[in-house]
A and B are shown apart, each in its own frame.
Chain A
Amino acid sequence: MLSETCCREISGAHIYVDVPNFNALATEVEGEDYRRVVQAVHLYQREVSRIVEQSDLFDALRVHFQGPKLHALIYRPIDDSATIAGRALLLQIVIRDFVRRVFNPEFPSLPNIAVAGGADIGKAIGTQDGMKGDRELLFLGRPANYAAKIIGPAWEMRVTARLYDALPEALQELCQELKDEVYVLGALAGDEVEELAAEFDVAWDAEASRARIQEDKRTFPLKDIRYSEAEALIDLDSLGIKNNKRVSAASLFADVDKFTAYIDAAKTTGQKKTALRVLHAIRKEMAAVVKHDFDGLRIQYQGDRVQALFHLPKDDGGKIINKTVEVAAALQSSMELCIKRLLPEAGSLGLALGLDIDITLVSKLGIRGDRDRICIGTAVQKAAETQEACHSLEIGTTARANALLSDDSAGQFTLDKERGIYIATGLTVEKMERLAKAAAYRSGSPVFVSSALAGVAVRPNKVANEREVFPARSYCA
């Protein structure tokens, strides 16, 4: 059993399969069709979970869904990297086949969805966070990180050179080298997929899958699928296939930059423990800032990053995005001014953040204790991409989010033409406070001074018994 204090180094193949166009559907579709989208999302993920977990199929570990993106781990048979690599490639093949031959025909009124995947093999440290029904599996290390990074355009299933090298020769022939260290899977006909699966003891049967999808559609008919807006903070535990939220919300991703290299550099058990202790401290602090300081929703830990959502006040994009920038600055402050002081071993790390705002589907997948909180929408995808383009100490926004920022906040962001995003570097809460005060000074308004042994506070607004000061016009001889 994995836990925060019981972590294991697990050798296996990490597989990610994304459905990028679910994001567009979850944002752009409205009305009755939105219920179809919600039903499709849930049924896709139910069936993909079965493909991953069922003992006659892959008997693998579904780590979680990151929105529409599956993260799975194949680690059995232990110490048989050829079979593990083969089954990892095969899982991508089967999911692609399932979407083409089963899923898209079963949802004819929706645009066809397309999948894209990536897989890598190697050792990663497994840990678990959270409590009771809120537990989340986490894998840290190169294969868990790199597999997601190599995902390419729709329908491309990619594997790293490490995984390719571990493949049996028959499967290597199905792949072509795409670029340095990355191979791409070629096309396969439906019957070829089933034959190949059988060779690896995977009982993939498209018709059986179709029957399961049809049964799911009967169990969860369109009329039972509901979605609504949210006036108050969403209770994530109340969500499920029959209760979903469609909200205008800002997505925020906060990533511990260079953490993968940091943990991979840890060679001894002691160093690894230190690295994990640092990560747990950072993650808990990030979650506390989001949940307790800013009344936000902590959606998911994804390895060394945290995903959060802000949707209040309802339909007020300006306030939502400005608050999200404040949260991002607070996370930077927390990392730079608190965590690094308390945990000097975190000194080389820093946070990279990305945010965006748009219509987002918020729900929970699965049943009872085995449930993933998910957010799907273009803003989620763009926020994640923006974060991935950022480095330590940077906060990135899309043009859409930047256009909604207040003048003071927008002034902190500059367009990086190369990356196509707006970046603020070193933006902390302290800095934001100072910028707000700069505006007060510029306006010629009085400021208010209070002083005590602990220090001096100069505020733009009167709070209690401060002394009023009209700032003098400074000069230098």
Chain B
Amino acid sequence: MKYFRHAPTAPKQWYEGDRGVRLDADRALLARHYPSLKFVVDDSEKRVKIIGTLCLASDCGVSTPVAVEIRLPRDYPSSEPLAYDAERLFRPAPGKIIEDRHICSNGQFCLWLPPNSRWSTDDPQALLPFLDELSVFLDRQLIYDETGEWPGPHYDHGPHGYRQFIVEQLHGDVDLFLKLRPVIAGEVAVGRNEICLCGSGIKFKRCHAGAVAAIQRRVGLDKVKAACRN
């Protein structure tokens, strides 16, 4: 029996796998809705990004240009794109840090808490709502420049933000979070037929087992542990 050894080949990129159908569709979407942005395919690094300037217009006729770079991950569209402040236009307000305006130190825009991502892997037009969210995010940045405060509700930085999210999943009940914290963080194993730690006297499987599992699935155990530590 003969065995043929194939030379190892690089895995296909997302835009190659479907013969470029998704890339073409996204290009058409950009041309129609965001013509100031364009796709750049770096064949050597097998990276795709969207670059350009979003001019945020006001009713009084004044436009504020913001240069953006949107990096599409290798597993796009299964994972969401990441948007960056290409020219580092936005600066920390006096006495504050750049994270206060939901921008990471590397210029990445934090549009949302990952468990709350608006990115829809199933939607072939997902790029459009993503860009609309990005526009709204930039619009809020301009308001932040005027007021020094983030307009509208937001999560705190880092683990505190995740903790806020977890408490929200428990209907805002901080006491309940404190009771369930060991089991959410995976520090204590509670059998499904044991009594729930919340104090209800009901079996865990009929009480908070589902909620705890959902939190761990959406947030990820590492983040959950960090959030529960604080």
Same complex for A and B? Answer yes
* Chain A interface residues (CB < 8 Å from chain B): 330, 333, 337, 428-431, 433-435, 437-438, 441-442, 444, 447, 449, 451-459, 467, 469, 471-477
User: Contacts A430-B60, A437-B151, A469-B129 hold; do A475 and B143 have CB atoms under 8 A apart?
Assistant: no
The interface residues of chain A lying within 8 Å CB-to-CB of B143 are: 434-435, 437-438, 441
- Closest CB of chain B to A236's CB: distance in Å? 28
- B57 adjacent to A456 (CB under 8 Å): yes
- A473 adjacent to B153 (CB under 8 Å): yes
Distance, CA A123 to CA B57, complexed state (A): 46
- Closest CB of chain A to B42's CB: distance in Å? 25
The interface residues of chain A lying within 8 Å CB-to-CB of B62 are: 333, 337, 429-430
- B56 adjacent to A475 (CB under 8 Å): no
Instruction: Tell which of B55, B103, B135 touches A454, judged by Cβ atoms closer than 8 Å.
Output: B55
- A475 adjacent to B110 (CB under 8 Å): yes
Nearest 6 CB-CB pairs, A to B?
A: A455-B55, A441-B152, A441-B151, A455-B57, A475-B113, A474-B102
- B102 adjacent to A434 (CB under 8 Å): no
- Closest CB of chain A to B124's CB: distance in Å? 16
Instruction: Tell which of B56, B113, B128, B152 touches A455, judged by Cβ atoms closer than 8 Å.
Output: B56
The interface residues of chain A lying within 8 Å CB-to-CB of B128 are: 467
Query: Binary interface profile of B, 107-147, with partner A (CB < 8 Å = 1, else 0)?
Result: 00011111010100000000011011101111110110011
The interface residues of chain B lying within 8 Å CB-to-CB of A337 are: 62
Distance, CA A386 to CA B138, complexed state (A): 37
Of B4-12, B33-41, B169-177, B198-206, which stretch is located at the interface?
B33-41
Q: A438-B143, A442-B151 are in contact. List 18 more A-B contacts (CB 8 A).
A: A330-B60, A333-B60, A433-B59, A434-B146, A435-B143, A437-B143, A438-B146, A449-B136, A451-B132, A455-B36, A455-B55, A456-B135, A456-B138, A469-B129, A473-B112, A473-B116, A474-B154, A476-B100
Distance, CA A269 to CA B229, complexed state (A): 75
Instruction: Tell which of B58, B110, B158 touches A430, judged by Cβ atoms closer than 8 Å.
Output: B58
**Can you name the residue of chain A whose Cβ is closest to the Cβ of B149?**
A438
- Closest CB of chain A to B117's CB: distance in Å? 9
The interface residues of chain B lying within 8 Å CB-to-CB of A451 are: 33-34, 131-132, 135
User: Contacts A434-B146, A435-B146, A473-B153 hold; do A454 and B60 have CB atoms under 8 A apart?
Assistant: no
Instruction: Tell which of B57, B133, B142, B161 touches A476, judged by Cβ atoms closer than 8 Å.
Output: B161
- Closest CB of chain A to B162's CB: distance in Å? 9
- A475 adjacent to B161 (CB under 8 Å): yes
Distance, CA A471 to CA B60, complexed state (A): 23
Instruction: Tell which of A330, A433, A452, A474 touches B155, judged by Cβ atoms closer than 8 Å.
Output: A474
The interface residues of chain A lying within 8 Å CB-to-CB of B99 are: 476
- Closest CB of chain A to B136's CB: distance in Å? 5
- A453 adjacent to B136 (CB under 8 Å): no
**Can you name the residue of chain B whose Cβ is closest to the Cβ of A459?**
B59
The interface residues of chain A lying within 8 Å CB-to-CB of B142 are: 434
- A453 adjacent to B137 (CB under 8 Å): no
Distance, CA A330 to CA B132, complexed state (A): 29
The interface residues of chain B lying within 8 Å CB-to-CB of A454 are: 55, 57, 63
Distance, CA A430 to CA B99, complexed state (A): 25
- B135 adjacent to A435 (CB under 8 Å): no
**Can you name the residue of chain B whose Cβ is closest to the Cβ of A443?**
B152
Instruction: Tell which of B104, B131, B147 touches A477, judged by Cβ atoms closer than 8 Å.
Output: B104
- B152 adjacent to A476 (CB under 8 Å): no
Confirm or deny: B150 has a beta carbon within 8 angstroms of a beta carbon on chain A: yes
- A475 adjacent to B112 (CB under 8 Å): yes
- B58 adjacent to A438 (CB under 8 Å): no
Interface size on B, residues (CB 8 A): 50
B 146-190 contacts with A by CB, 8 A: 146-147, 150-158, 161
User: Contacts A438-B151, A474-B111 hold; do A433 and B58 have CB atoms under 8 A apart?
Assistant: yes
Distance, CA A476 to CA B151, complexed state (A): 15
Distance, CA A256 to CA B164, complexed state (A): 51
Q: Which of B33, B62, B104, B132 has the most CB of A within 10 A?
A: B132
Distance, CA A385 to CA B150, complexed state (A): 37
**Can you name the residue of chain B whose Cβ is closest to the Cβ of A446?**
B136
- A429 adjacent to B60 (CB under 8 Å): yes
Q: Which of A433, A438, A467 has the most CB of B within 10 A?
A: A438
- B35 adjacent to A453 (CB under 8 Å): yes
**Can you name the residue of chain A whose Cβ is closest to the Cβ of B59?**
A433
Distance, CA A444 to CA B154, complexed state (A): 11
Distance, CA A333 to CA B58, complexed state (A): 12
Q: Which of B33, B58, B62 has the most CB of A within 10 A?
A: B58
The interface residues of chain A lying within 8 Å CB-to-CB of B56 are: 455-458
- Closest CB of chain B to A372's CB: distance in Å? 33
Distance, CA A212 to CA B57, complexed state (A): 62
The interface residues of chain A lying within 8 Å CB-to-CB of B219 are: none
The interface residues of chain A lying within 8 Å CB-to-CB of B103 are: 476
Distance, CA A442 to CA B149, complexed state (A): 11
- Closest CB of chain B to A425's CB: distance in Å? 12
Instruction: Tell which of B55, B59, B118 touches A472, judged by Cβ atoms closer than 8 Å.
Output: B118
- Closest CB of chain B to A395's CB: distance in Å? 15
Confirm or deny: B228 has a beta carbon within 8 angstroms of a beta carbon on chain A: no
B 9-61 contacts with A by CB, 8 A: 33-36, 54-60
User: Contacts A449-B132, A477-B157 hold; do A472 and B116 have CB atoms under 8 A apart?
Assistant: yes
- B157 adjacent to A476 (CB under 8 Å): yes
- A473 adjacent to B155 (CB under 8 Å): yes
Distance, CA A476 to CA B114, complexed state (A): 10
The interface residues of chain A lying within 8 Å CB-to-CB of B131 are: 451
**Can you name the residue of chain A whose Cβ is closest to the Cβ of B109?**
A474
- A449 adjacent to B135 (CB under 8 Å): yes
**Can you name the residue of chain B whose Cβ is closest to the Cβ of A433?**
B58
- Closest CB of chain A to B135's CB: distance in Å? 5
- Closest CB of chain A to B15's CB: distance in Å? 23
**Can you name the residue of chain A whose Cβ is closest to the Cβ of B101?**
A476
Q: Which of A337, A435, A454, A471 has the most CB of B within 10 A?
A: A471
**Can you name the residue of chain A whose Cβ is closest to the Cβ of B159?**
A477
- A472 adjacent to B112 (CB under 8 Å): yes
Distance, CA A451 to CA B111, complexed state (A): 19
- A469 adjacent to B136 (CB under 8 Å): yes
